Chain A
Amino acid sequence: MLAELINPYYLQVASFILINIILGVSIYITLSTGQLSLANAGFMGIGAYTSALLTLNFDLPIIVGIMAGTLLAGVFGILIGIPTLRLQGVYLAIVTLGFGEVIRVIFVNWESMTKGAVGLSGIPHMGRELLNTVKDLGFDPKVLGLQNNQFVFLAIFLILLAVTVSIIAFFRRQNRSRVGRAFAAIKLDEKAAESMGINITYYKVLAFAQGAMVAGFAGALFAHVLAYISPADFAYHRAVEILIFAVFGGSEVIWGPVFGALFLTVMPEVLRFISEYRYMIYGLIIIIMMAVRPQGLIDVNILNWVKLKTSKRRQKHGTSSQKSM
């Protein structure tokens, strides 16, 4: 019964949604201090290439590769973050845009390492590696009534789901902590925040590096889910796509980019005829949202309204349905 319900097609789509959600979170973090980073596609590429190269050339376990990719993206985040902090909003956005492109050009030209535009293929696949591992341990997915490929994609989906939920949980917690309040203060008014004794350099670099790490992490996952990457995957268009998750969904609360990534990944899949006009629609969404609702679809008010509704329901039924957000 279970076996028939688990269709790798749906799991595949779900996996891409989860990766996009993580990317949406990555841009949200930097935006929560009022900085716009357009380098997240580049950081994603750093994470993806680092992890792919380490696992391909040194046979390291995937998890080590992913961690290394995440960390390296974070290091680049700090390196780029510290000097750029002297710059104001628009200038920062442009430097990050330039940085993303430089990263891409390096991937294209560093042929001995990255194979240039041809890309890296045969990257260890998260699900297939896991399948081999459990088979070595003497476990056969058929015990659960699963085909091999069903097991592979179910495993990927569950891992990504767990990871995504923990990332969201972590940043929701951080938002309510000292760090989160500092971020909010900086976003509202940098000078006022500074005069209140908040170390804005520290917090801005922190936010920038966190965003870079999360993007690098998503990139590393992307590499091991798709098993193939090329520089074109991390170009300007990817940066814009990530930006749209936040613009459409909203950047005030973490649920905004999460919703944006979810909706904008599902939409072209469900409405196949739309996929041809995908980028035109993206463009229109940005223009309209900026003019009409610059804070994005989901803002604090909507969230409060939903909370109110669910808490009322909770009183009635005594169960939480916050997952519906």
Chain B
Amino acid sequence: MKKQLKKFAQFTALSSLLVLSACGGNQAAGDEDGESSGGVVKADIGVISYISGPGAAYGEAITNGLKLALEEINGKGEVKINLVVEDSAGKQDQALTAAQKLMNSENVTGIIGPTLSTEMNVVGPEADLNGVPIMGTSTTAEGIPQIGDYVFRNSLPEALAIPAAIDKAIKKYDAKKVAILYGNDDVFTKSGYDTMKKAAEEKGLEILTTETFQKGQSDYNAQLTKIKGLKPDLILASALYNEGAVIMDQARKMGIDVPFVGGNGFNSPEVINIAGDAANGLIVATPWYGEKEDDKVKEFVSKYEKEYGKKPDQFAAQAYDALYIMAEALKNAGEADRDALRDALAEVKGFNGILGEFSFDEEGDVVMDPTVLIIEGGAFKEFN
């Protein structure tokens, strides 16, 4: 451990020296020299991801996206990044120990992750206290970047996504009365519900009823029958795609044919796999749309498919852009220093990635326009 610390000290001293000399060189001799010798910033970036356990699929998509970005970034040679990946198994205490390891044993410059908002609630304050910039790529709950100055995210928060989806649905279907259905024992769906309720109230919708369900439940008939009797124009459902797909299936079987509006957790091609035709009429807002007519997006999709044999989802796409944002900030910071990286991250404006144009606001939260999608004829299509 001592050795590592020493190494790190040497490394930072060396790199800052190099940067200094580069600046000096710039002033004295001209830029050619400076670019080639001292412009490359080398940094260790830690990754905390949900690699084992029930949500391992999320962690896999995220690390895949990161690896793809890493290759490209290091290939370009403007910055050299080394990723140090740790598993959190989706648990707060394990995420915290992983973060401690990264911050104190591995001495990383910045951290990407963790995967879940619950984990970020625990890890964020610790990173902030230690002055390590941390960026979530999939943490969508309210209040994450507000934890502290060092906490960022590039994942589209529910607070942006859900109102966008509800807005478009209201306009299209002239909806006035809604029913809300949500999973009340899950952090993700509960916080999605809070946003949903707020959005519905702001838009002046009449909430006919609010029903809940729990993990491991497979029978939603009681709740759905009640909703059916109230005849809503729209059903707002804050559910993960696993439960959400089953809910839609049972609703359609019962004869409920109004559209569903879902949150981030509902947004997955898996809904179509599980529910089949019953999935038609699901409206979600997403930061990521793989069919977009955009060269960057097409290149990313084809590369990802070639490498991992499946289509990238939003988790892979957000992670991919996150590392690019980190790299951009590192380049601007000019050195592998935690404080410099934080300041550079806060400055990121108008970054153009595969998710579209991206900026951080003053708090480190996301400024971007989500795309609203609807499932029609068994596929996601842009919803207008």
Residues of A within 8 A of B (CB): 4-5, 7-9, 12-13, 16, 108-109, 116-119, 121-122, 125, 128, 148-149, 152-153, 226-228, 230-233, 269, 272, 275-276
Contacts and interface: CB of A to CB of B under 8 A. Distances in A.
A4 B5 contact: yes
B118 A228 contact: yes
Contacts of A9: 97, 100-101, 104-105
Contacts of B143: 121
Contacts of A5: 1
Interface stretch (B165-173, B184-192, B229-237, B355-363): B184-192
Contacts of B126: 149
A232 B187 CA distance: 9
B21 interface: no
Contact of B191 (A118, A122, A149, A269): A118
A148 B132 CA distance: 14
Contact of B104 (A7, A121, A226): A7
Contacts of B141: 118
Given A5-B1, A227-B122, 8 more contacts: A4-B2, A116-B184, A117-B183, A117-B187, A119-B121, A231-B185, A232-B185, A275-B87
A279 B100 CA distance: 24
B185 A228 contact: no
Interface in B124-156: 125-126, 129-130, 141, 143
Contact of B190 (A13, A116, A228): A116
A4 B122 contact: no
10 contacts: A5-B1, A9-B104, A12-B96, A108-B185, A116-B190, A119-B121, A125-B125, A149-B130, A227-B122, A269-B97
Contact of B52 (A125, A226, A230, A276): A276
A275 B95 CA distance: 13
Interface of B: 1-2, 5, 52-53, 56, 87, 89, 92-94, 96-97, 100-101, 103-105, 118, 121-122, 125-126, 129-130, 141, 143, 183-187, 189-191, 194
Given A7-B105, A9-B105, A228-B92, A108 B97 contact: no
Given A116-B190, A117-B187, A118-B187, A16 B122 contact: no
A125 B122 CA distance: 11
Given A117-B186, A117-B190, A226 B125 contact: no
Contacts of B130: 149
A228 B123 CA distance: 10
A190 B52 CA distance: 46
Q: Give 8 nearest A-B pairs by CB, closest first.
A: A276-B52, A9-B100, A117-B190, A121-B121, A9-B101, A228-B121, A228-B122, A12-B100
B103 to A, nearest CB: 8
Contacts of A7: 1, 100, 104-105
A149 B105 CA distance: 13
A128 to B, nearest CB: 7
A58 to B, nearest CB: 21
Contacts of A231: 185
A116 B197 CA distance: 15
A61 to B, nearest CB: 20
Contact of A148 (B1, B129, B183): B129
B100 A128 contact: no
A9, A13, A152, A153 — most chain B CB neighbours (10 Å): A9
A91 B1 CA distance: 52
A8, A128, A272 — most chain B CB neighbours (10 Å): A8
A194 B186 CA distance: 47
